Chains A and B, each alone.
Chain A
Amino acid sequence: MKFTLNIWRQKGSDERGRFVTYEAHDVSSGMSFLEMLDGVNQRLIVKGEEPVAFEQDCREGICGSCSLVINGIPHGPDRGITTCQLYMRRFPDGAVITIEPWRARAFPIIKDLVVDRRALDRIMQAGGYVSVPTGGAVDGNVLLISKDQAETAMDAASCIGCGACVAACKNASAMLFVAAKVSHLALLPQGKPERTSRVKAMLEAMDREGFGSCGNQNECEAVCPKRISVCFIATLNREYLRAGVVEPGLPAEPESPHAESV
Chain B
Amino acid sequence: MMKLDPKIPPGPLETKWDRRRFSEKLVSPTNKRRITVIVVGTGLAGASAASTLGQLGYQVECFCFQDSPRRAHSIAAQGGINAAKNYQDDGDSVGRLFYDTIKGGDFRSREANVYRLAQVSTQIIDQCVALGIPFAREYGGQLANRSFGGVQVSRTFYCRGQTGQQLLLGAYSALCWQIERGQVTMRPRTEMLDLVMIDGLARGIVARDLVTGRVSIHTAHAVVLATGGYSNVYYLSTNASGSNVTATYRAWKQGAAFANPCFTQIHPTAIPPGDAHQAKLTLMSESLRNDGRLWVPTMPADHRCPGDIPAGERDYFLERRYPRFGNLAPRDLASRAVKAVCDEGRGVGPGGQGVYLDFADVIGQQGLDVVRERYGNLFDMYQRITGEDAYHAPMRIYPAPHYTMGGLWVDYNLMSTIPGLFVIGEANFADHGANRLGASSLMQGLADGYFILPYTIGHYLATAKLTPVGEDHQESRAALQRVTSRVSRLLNAKGCRTAASFHREVGQLLWNHCGMSRNQEGLKSALTSIPALREEFWRDIMVPGSGEAFNQELEYAGRVADYLEFAELLCHDALHREESCGAHFREEYQTDDGEPQRDDSRFAHVAAWEYREGTSPVLHKESLAFEFVQPTTRSYQ
Q: Does B340 contact A (CB under 8 A)?
A: no
- Contact A125 B127, beta carbon cutoff 8 Å: no
Q: Does A161 contact B (CB under 8 A)?
A: yes
- Contact B552 A53, beta carbon cutoff 8 Å: yes
- Closest-CB distance, A238 to chain B (whole angstroms): 19
Complex Cα spacing A145 to B70, Å: 26
- Contact A146 B137, beta carbon cutoff 8 Å: yes
- Contact B181 A255, beta carbon cutoff 8 Å: yes
Interface residues of A, dominant DSSP = loop
- Contact A58 B76, beta carbon cutoff 8 Å: yes
- Contact B180 A56, beta carbon cutoff 8 Å: no
Q: Mark B113-142, 1 if CB is under 8 A from A, else 0.
A: 000000000010111111111111111111
Known: A117-B68, A132-B131, A134-B55. A53 touches B550 (CB 8 A): yes
**Interface residues in A1-58 (C-beta closer than 8 Å to B):** 11-12, 28-32, 34-35, 38-39, 41-42, 44-46, 48-51, 53, 55-58
Q: Does A174 contact B (CB under 8 A)?
A: no
- Contact A51 B552, beta carbon cutoff 8 Å: yes
Q: Does A166 contact B (CB under 8 A)?
A: no
- Contact A57 B66, beta carbon cutoff 8 Å: yes
| Tally of contacts, chain A with chain B, CB under 8 A | 238
- Contact B132 A191, beta carbon cutoff 8 Å: yes
Residues of A within 8 A of B543 (CB): 45
Q: Does A153 contact B (CB under 8 A)?
A: yes
Q: Does A249 contact B (CB under 8 A)?
A: no
Q: Does A245 contact B (CB under 8 A)?
A: no
- Contact B71 A184, beta carbon cutoff 8 Å: no
- Closest-CB distance, B67 to chain A (whole angstroms): 6
Known: A45-B542, A157-B169. A30 touches B387 (CB 8 A): yes
> Per a CB cutoff under 8 Å, which of A41, A55, A137 touches B129?
A137
Complex Cα spacing A11 to B399, Å: 40
- Contact B162 A62, beta carbon cutoff 8 Å: yes
Complex Cα spacing A85 to B280, Å: 11
Known: A140-B143, A258-B33. A34 touches B177 (CB 8 A): no
- Contact A12 B134, beta carbon cutoff 8 Å: no
Q: Does B288 contact A (CB under 8 A)?
A: no
Residues of A within 8 A of B501 (CB): 42
Residues of A within 8 A of B494 (CB): 48
Complex Cα spacing A29 to B552, Å: 26
Among the 9-residue stretches B259-267, B270-278, B415-423, B572-580, the one with 4 or more Cβ atoms under 8 Å from chain A is: B270-278
Q: Mark A159-187, 1 if CB is under 8 A from B, else 0.
A: 01100000000000000000000001100
- Closest-CB distance, B51 to chain A (whole angstroms): 7
Nearest B-chain residue to A189, judged by Cβ: B132
- Closest-CB distance, B505 to chain A (whole angstroms): 14
Complex Cα spacing A135 to B549, Å: 42
Q: Does A216 contact B (CB under 8 A)?
A: no
- Contact A125 B141, beta carbon cutoff 8 Å: no
Residues of B within 8 A of A185 (CB): 132
Count of interface residues, chain A, beta-carbon cutoff 8 Å:
84
Nearest A-chain residue to B68, judged by Cβ: A121
Complex Cα spacing A121 to B70, Å: 9
- Closest-CB distance, B493 to chain A (whole angstroms): 12
Known: A190-B132, A261-B29. A60 touches B283 (CB 8 A): yes
Q: Does A118 contact B (CB under 8 A)?
A: yes
Complex Cα spacing A145 to B131, Å: 14
Q: Does B73 contact A (CB under 8 A)?
A: yes
Residues of B within 8 A of A257 (CB): 57, 181-183
Nearest B-chain residue to A261, judged by Cβ: B29
> Per a CB cutoff under 8 Å, which of B125, B160, B280, B454 touches A154?
B160
Complex Cα spacing A253 to B266, Å: 50
Q: Mark B466-491, 1 if CB is under 8 A from A, else 0.
A: 00000000000000000000000000
**Interface residues in A117-157 (C-beta closer than 8 Å to B):** 117-118, 120-121, 124-135, 137-141, 143-147, 150-151, 153-154, 157
Complex Cα spacing A153 to B384, Å: 27
- Contact A147 B141, beta carbon cutoff 8 Å: yes
Residues of B within 8 A of A117 (CB): 67-68
- Contact A134 B241, beta carbon cutoff 8 Å: no
Among the 9-residue stretches A93-101, A108-116, A207-215, A229-237, the one with 4 or more Cβ atoms under 8 Å from chain B is: A108-116
- Closest-CB distance, A241 to chain B (whole angstroms): 22
Q: Does A70 contact B (CB under 8 A)?
A: no
Interface size class of B (residues with CB under 8 A): 35 or more
- Contact B143 A129, beta carbon cutoff 8 Å: no
Q: Does B545 contact A (CB under 8 A)?
A: yes
Residues of B within 8 A of A125 (CB): 176-177, 179-180
> Per a CB cutoff under 8 Å, which of B73, B141, B180, B496 touches A144?
B141
Q: Does B378 contact A (CB under 8 A)?
A: no
- Contact B138 A56, beta carbon cutoff 8 Å: no
Residues of A within 8 A of B384 (CB): 81, 85, 87
Q: Does A89 contact B (CB under 8 A)?
A: yes
Complex Cα spacing A255 to B160, Å: 35
Q: Does A59 contact B (CB under 8 A)?
A: yes
Residues of B within 8 A of A29 (CB): 387
- Contact A46 B498, beta carbon cutoff 8 Å: yes
- Contact A158 B542, beta carbon cutoff 8 Å: no
Residues of B within 8 A of A38 (CB): 277, 279, 500
> Per a CB cutoff under 8 Å, which of A87, A126, A141 touches B387?
A87
Residues of A within 8 A of B498 (CB): 42, 45-46
Interface centre among A30, A48, A117, A140, by most B CB within 10 Å? A140
- Contact A150 B542, beta carbon cutoff 8 Å: no
> Per a CB cutoff under 8 Å, which of A57, A128, A141 touches B242?
A57
Q: Mark B342-371, 1 if CB is under 8 A from A, else 0.
A: 000000000000000000000000000000
Q: Does A76 contact B (CB under 8 A)?
A: no
Interface centre among A31, A41, A57, A116, by most B CB within 10 Å? A57
Q: Does A188 contact B (CB under 8 A)?
A: yes
Residues of A within 8 A of B617 (CB): none
Q: Does A83 contact B (CB under 8 A)?
A: no
Q: Does B188 contact A (CB under 8 A)?
A: yes
Residues of A within 8 A of B552 (CB): 51, 53
Residues of B within 8 A of A225 (CB): none
> Per a CB cutoff under 8 Å, which of A128, A133, A153, A254 touches B173?
A128
Known: A65-B71, A130-B130, A141-B143. A60 touches B177 (CB 8 A): no
Q: Does B87 contact A (CB under 8 A)?
A: yes
Q: Does B442 contact A (CB under 8 A)?
A: no
Residues of A within 8 A of B166 (CB): 154, 157
Known: A57-B242, A154-B159. A63 touches B129 (CB 8 A): no
Could you write out 7 A-B pairs with CB less than 8 Å apart?
A45-B543, A55-B67, A111-B549, A132-B130, A144-B141, A154-B136, A255-B181
Given A45-B553, A118-B67, 6 extra CB contacts under 8 A: A57-B240, A58-B76, A59-B282, A140-B129, A188-B132, A257-B181
Mark A residues whose CB is within 8 Å of B. Answer: 11-12, 28-32, 34-35, 38-39, 41-42, 44-46, 48-51, 53, 55-60, 62-65, 81, 85, 87, 89, 110-111, 114, 116-118, 120-121, 124-135, 137-141, 143-147, 150-151, 153-154, 157-158, 160-161, 184-185, 188, 190-191, 254-255, 257-258, 260-261
Mark B residues whose CB is within 8 Å of A. Answer: 29-30, 33, 48, 51-52, 55, 57, 66-71, 73, 75-76, 85, 87, 123, 125-143, 159-160, 162, 165-166, 169, 172-174, 176-177, 179-183, 186, 188, 211, 240-242, 274-275, 277-280, 282-283, 384-387, 450-451, 454, 494, 496-498, 500-501, 542-545, 549-553
The 4 closest A-B CB pairs, nearest first, are A144-B141, A129-B173, A137-B130, A140-B129
